[in-house]
Chains A and B, each alone.
Chain A
Amino acid sequence: MRLRGSAWLALSSFLISSILTGAVRPRYGGTLTVELSTAWPTLDPAAIQTALSIPIAETLVRVSSHGETEPVLAVAWQHDPDFKRWRFSLRPKVTFHDGEALTAASAAPSLLAVLKQKYGEVSMEAGGQALVVQADHAMPELLDVLALPSAAIVRKSDASPLIGTGPFRVASWEPGRRLMLAAFDGYWGARPYLDTVAIEFGAGRGRADLFDIPVGPARRILPEGLAMWSSEPRTLVAIAAVNAQPAQLQALALSIDRAPIVNVLAQHLGDAAFGLLPQWLSGYAFLFQSTPDVTRARQIASQLRPAAMTLSYPASDLFLRSVAERVALNARDAGIAIQPMPGGNGNLHVNLSMLEWPLESADAADALKRIAEQVGAGDRARQLDPAKPDTLYQFERSLLDEYRIIPLVHLRESYGIAPRVHFQPSRSDTFHLHLEDAWVEK
């Protein structure tokens, strides 16, 4: 996998920031204040899709930004040649936040629901720290599934909304308003530097040590001295065809100028998307790059004489609204009438739908499969071979040529970081910002 230039730029900016503050030695203690513009209604790991890693619960394995599987709660794993039987050895001396020891038996319930949803009938055998997963069919991408947040190992308890094994435990939780985390002294790894993390939701005043920068045309000027961290592009913004002719969609795709969308509407917090997967994930996205061809689009439209189309967008998302309006403006230049309208796919009169797809997986094949399932091509995606990038390219090319989906932009997730906040630069994950690596000056 290759990192695109802009991703490297973001990463290097963070590294430079770290280097600049490298003279400051990490210390324990202190509280990190965080402001997040989007409220969390729940602490369910599966429902939290953010680049800011809140390490309360952990998975058996994780996928690095380079696509490599790394051990977390599982220290080793083996599988048979058919990928039908997997055996995991769990990390010893790991305890949950409530003091309960992590065993195969305590981990199995969290995994079983996820695996059954993914593979159907799955059996588990738990013995001590050994956990065996077996199915009648092959599970070659099981590690990717187990790396998903939804596969985090948690315990159910009335005493706490979420009990995991991560470096932070939940100290208090007011759904949608405030989350207080405290360092888990019994963490199996190194204790986090911070004593507590106070997260405020919906504040958005930029006075915290760490705050997110929402993507959108509203320009946010960071106060002097603050650093910005941006993740790799992790969200695809695209137009999904609901009820439109392919030729109409072709004309529309040719008319769209993505540069203004990225530079102005997304405020450079993303990359123009010509393919479904970002360059850092697929490595071949540059092959889809193109320029707008309004003349060609107008020719196609003039032959079609298309009726006016509607383009829906989530009513509360100002960014997608602005993108929809820009797309409509570009389309008008090609002679295609598009009426942006707030709403969803439930509207019978919707021809096109503006959507965001979070790229949950750092694995290209898995991410592509998920997108394919969203546009009704999930069956064809099952034949994808992660080991053969050309099959991914061919499959993505076919999806694009069918105009079922028109990619527009890959968005990054960005955060503003106060000068007193530092992150340990050793971690190679550029996909997440890990709170357990942060410390604050006095």
Chain B
Amino acid sequence: MSFRTKVFLSITATVVLAVWIVAAVVSTLVTQSFERRDAQRTAGIVSQYRREMGRRGEDVARRVKAVADSDIVQRLAVNFNGPVDSSQYYSQALALAQEQSLDFLELVGPDAGIISSAEWQARFGYKEDWIAQPTDWNAQMAFLKKEDLADGSALGLIAVRSVKAGDGTLFVAGGRRLDKEFLDSLPVTDGVRVQLYRNFEPLAPADALVEEVRRQPREQTRVSGAVTETAIPLQGREGQLLAILLIENSRAELLSLRQYIQTTAGAVGVAGVLLGLMLSFWTASRVTRPLRDLASSVREVAAGNWDTRASVSSSDEVGQLARDFNGMTEQLREQRDRMIQAERVAAWRELARRLAHELKNPLFPLQITIENLQRSRDAAPEQFDEVFRESTSTLLAELGHLKTIIGRFSDFAKMPAPQLEPVDVNQVAREVMQLFEAQLRAPGQPAIEIKLQMEAYPGEVRADPDQLRRALRNLVLNALDAMPQGGTLTVRTSRHDNKVALEVSDTGQGLTPEECDRLFTPYYTTKLHGTGLGLAIVQSVVSDHKGTITVQSEPGKGTTFRIELTT
């Protein structure tokens, strides 16, 4: 994993963590805030319904009072004398109830017998014993009561008012039905649904909260999904549980708002993360760019480009590192230059030594011959001609030798650029080895066996055939020189992938590692009369062909040179 990736991931993780923490905090705060608001709203709605129920109760009481004060009831009370003939009042309660918009109305005599009933007209004459109990009904507020009807039962908000009738009391009990219509008539609050569960009839599959309130009649609130439920027990005068009012306050709006906020926060978070990613990417790039530049410079230097300099764009640690790197490469370059200079001096010394050595050997015979001519002319003029002929012959031979030496150096100095063309390596190898066959078979030559191991189809390489033959010839000469006592010379071609290898092996004394390291150095030779240019020329040819040359040797086991050229 690259440094930039590490920096990128680190910054990204930091940003994501930060965004997540912020989102979590925002979500928690929003949730808490909404829960508080929901609880306040629910409490407000419950309070509103309680107030409305109270107001409706007052309204019922007022209407019942109006019935009690009506002329009909007052006349009934005034004329009251003993049992009342219900036939005169059979429909009276219904008419009065309709007049006062009451669902329930009963006129009850002092004996608790119903004189007239609006909700169940047929019930005249029946007793309402509860109403005759000693109670100051005129001071009583409306209360809940289960009302028996012809078709079942109903829940009513009932008020009772009494009217003095002779020695007794006439009762007017009226009220309104507490049912769905009643609930629907209450002020509507958006998102609020009110249900009434009557406790005196089999409940439909009821809410668990309703069941709970049935067991323990007290107001309870519960949050259930998208609804906040509040169950209010509705009790009668004697505390009996008559019904349960279930107020369902929809949390959809709050949830929607919360969802919106959380979604927005999420979107902002995602945007923040994306922005953080881009920022971290940019930051990572910006932070690591000097390092990458520095690393690139290091690679350049490692590749030999000593003039490479790292850019210094900041004054921080990285900039200091770049400056130190530049200082270091400067020092290395200076050391390299000094080393090259030293090597050049050493090379020139070696060249001078070689030249001195190479030239001294022919010059000494020349000096001897010329001195011999001078002595012969002075000492034996009669023999001078003969000595002159012999001496000039020697002088020419040595001058030829000098010329040869100088020619070799000249050749090395004047290596031409290769003329590339498709070349069959096997063909080159055979041609070169044919040149040496006559030399090797000449008398007095050490017994050297030649082996040609050619790849069947090595393919062609793009090379200069003359230079390739020259390089091979030098390797063969070098191998022959390594086997003065005879041996085996092996020339081998092979192909590996897109490369063709040409190997020349001898079975001579081999080379030490130190010798191997210096083999391709110009003018380095292990031979007494070598110029040290043969293998240097070979390396120059191989290098000009974009190839490689390697040597493998062990003392006592011969040496193998391997040239690899690209097809």
Contacts and interface: CB of A to CB of B under 8 A. Distances in A.
Contacts of A263: 85-87
A339 interface: yes
Nearest to A327: B122
A260 B90 CA distance: 11
B123 interface: yes
A29 interface: no
Nearest to A339: B151
B139 interface: no
Contacts, number: 43
Given A218-B91, A265-B90, A340-B150, A329 B85 contact: no
Contacts of A360: none
A330 to B, nearest CB: 9
B306 interface: no
A325 B87 contact: no
What is the size category of the interface that chain B forms with chain A? 10 to 19
B124 interface: yes
Contacts of B151: 339
Contact of B87 (A219, A326, A329, A339): A219
B91 A219 contact: yes
Contacts of A267: 87, 90
Contact of A329 (B88, B90, B91, B123): B123
Contacts of B121: 217, 322, 325
A328 interface: yes
A263 B86 CA distance: 8
| SS class, residues of chain B in contact with chain A | loop
Interface string A248-276: 00000000000010011101100000000
Contacts of B124: 260, 264
A260 B125 contact: yes
A219 B122 contact: no
Contact of A326 (B85, B88, B91, B122): B122
Contacts of B87: 217, 219, 263-264, 267-268
B122 A328 contact: yes
Interface in B117-135: 120-126
A219 B93 CA distance: 13
A267 B87 CA distance: 6
A119 to B, nearest CB: 45
Q: Which of B122, B124, B126 has the most CB of A within 10 A?
A: B122
Nearest to B121: A322
Interface in A196-223: 217-219
Interface string B135-176: 000000000000000110000000000000000000000000
Nearest to B85: A263
Given A260-B125, A263-B85, A340-B150, A325 B90 contact: no
Interface string A219-231: 1000000000000
Contacts of A326: 122
Interface in A326-360: 326, 328-329, 339-340
Contacts of B86: 260, 263-264
Contacts of A265: 90, 122
A65 B208 CA distance: 71
A219 B120 CA distance: 17
Contacts of A219: 87-88, 90-91
Contacts of A264: 85-87, 90, 124-125
B98 to A, nearest CB: 13
Contacts of A329: 120, 122-123, 126, 150
Contacts of B90: 217-219, 264-265, 267
A219 to B, nearest CB: 6
Nearest to A341: B151
Contacts of A268: 87
A259 to B, nearest CB: 9
Contacts of B120: 325, 329
A319 to B, nearest CB: 11
A421 to B, nearest CB: 27
B399 to A, nearest CB: 151
Nearest to A219: B88
Contacts of A322: 121-122
Nearest to B91: A218
Given A264-B124, A264-B125, A329-B150, 19 more contacts: A217-B87, A217-B91, A219-B87, A260-B124, A260-B125, A263-B87, A265-B90, A265-B122, A267-B90, A268-B87, A322-B122, A325-B120, A325-B121, A325-B122, A325-B150, A328-B150, A329-B122, A329-B123, A329-B126
Q: Which 7 A-B pairs have the closest CB atoms?
A: A325-B122, A326-B122, A264-B87, A217-B90, A264-B86, A329-B122, A264-B90
8 contacts: A263-B86, A264-B125, A265-B90, A268-B87, A325-B121, A325-B150, A328-B122, A329-B122
